[in-house]
Amino acid sequence: MSLRIALLGLLSAVGPASGYDLAKKFDRSLNHVWQAGHTQIYPELVKMAADGLVDAGSEGARGRKTYTITPEGARQLHEWMLEHTPSVVVRNEVALQAFLLPLLDRDDAIAVVERIRAGLEARLATLQCQQAGAFGSYALKLGLAQLRTSIGWTEETLADLRRAAG
Amino acid sequence: MSLRIALLGLLSAVGPASGYDLAKKFDRSLNHVWQAGHTQIYPELVKMAADGLVDAGSEGARGRKTYTITPEGARQLHEWMLEHTPSVVVRNEVALQAFLLPLLDRDDAIAVVERIRAGLEARLATLQCQQAGAFGSYALKLGLAQLRTSIGWTEETLADLRRAAG
DNA sequence: ATGTACATGTAATGGGTTACATGATTCT
DNA sequence: AGAATCATGTAACCCATTACATGTACAT
């Protein structure tokens, strides 16, 4: 369901676009929120056209198909935003390693947390470059805040590990 | 893969346990880190036994099967912790709604963010009750910090929305 | 006896990733 | 001529959820 919503949202925000365009947008502006490759996007657009949420225009150069959101698509997007309580459920490999840290001896645990921190900082650098237009700015702020919080956690945890039996 | 790791981690932390036990542990101590129901856990334990990562003991009362981690299971768990760089990828419905907020008019946007805040606060209350033993305490700290950050974001965002064209 | 907690499973479906496959256009 | 980018698709597989299905033990 959420893939549909993300696609409708992009079409609504940037206007008519091809599957190829949408895949790029996913990669560049939506990647900290949702991920989808072209292999997932193309078939989904076909289904959405069948369901009347988007219009597939006639083929352009190189077989390009430009999709446009329909009024029904816009309605369903709006309805989802207003009615759907987002699930707070998270599946997080970083948190899983955090959970399992006590299984390791001190030096291994430190190495693991250092690596986590490096990964988070790399991602923070990436996100900081990606300045959103008006669109996506709320989500970007949220993403940055969460990364900073996670990095803060790595620092506290490293201090804690180094304190214990230093 | 991560389901395997989570199961090995639990078996390593709490000792031999049945699928039923593990499903409860998932629900009670691991739910902010990873989720899995019994329908996913039971078949996975069978496969893990086939792969030599756990030993399935003989059946006890009520068909209960008690699984024990093997040395090979412990080795793979340790290896994963040390070698596997956790993916930082997130799929987050809250962030998706955040991304799409600019599609809504001011009052709808405020209602959406209020609902998000209520959901986050409910979850925070749940997590705060769930005090971890030594085990899981690092992950719990991380989870709490992230929830507080998200709640902070809802407050900033509400202030921002109310300021604009108040 | 009725309900609750214990305990295990299967099947259908949906969502997502990886690998495979093809062809057009543009740039150097 | 060769490489990069544009552009679309399919198939196999893995992971996860929901619904279905069964039976035991214990407490009231």
Structure tokens at B40: 């996913």
Give the percent of chain B with pLDDT over 70.
Answer: 98
A61 shares contact with chain B (CB less than 8 Å): no
pLDDT at B157 exceeding the cut of 80: yes
| A165 — pLDDT class (breaks 50, 70, 90) | low
Domain formed by B2-83, architecture: Orthogonal Bundle (1.10)
* Helix spans in chain A (H): 2-14, 19-29, 38-50, 71-83, 93-100, 106-129, 137-163
Q: What is the pLDDT of residue B166?
A: 63
The B residues from 77 to 136 touching A (CB cutoff 8 Å) are 77-78, 81-82, 84-104, 108, 111-112, 115-116, 119-120, 123, 134-136
Distance CA A81, CA A75 (A): 10
Task: With CA atoms as reference, report the closest residue to B116 among A74, A150, A139, A140.
Answer: A139
Structure tokens at B137: 């305490």
Pick from A153-162, B42-51, B157-166: least confident = B157-166
- Within 8 A by CB and 6+ apart from A76, the residues are A4, A8, A53
Domain range list for chain A: 2-83, 93-163
Flag if B153 and A136 touch (Cβ within 8 Å).
no
- Within 8 A by CB and 6+ apart from A138, the residues are B98, B99, B101, B102, B157
Structure tokens at A94: 């970083």
Kindly list the residues from chain B whose CB atom is less than 8 angstroms away from the CB atom of residue A142: 94-95, 98, 150, 153
Structure tokens at A135: 């669109």
Per-residue pLDDT tens digits for A93-151:
999 999 999 999 999 999 999 999 999 999 999 999 887 777 889 999 999 999 999 99
Determine the protein residue whose CA lies at the shortest distance from the C1' of C24. A62
Radius of gyration of chain B (CA): 21
Per-residue pLDDT tens digits for B99-111:
999 999 999 999 9
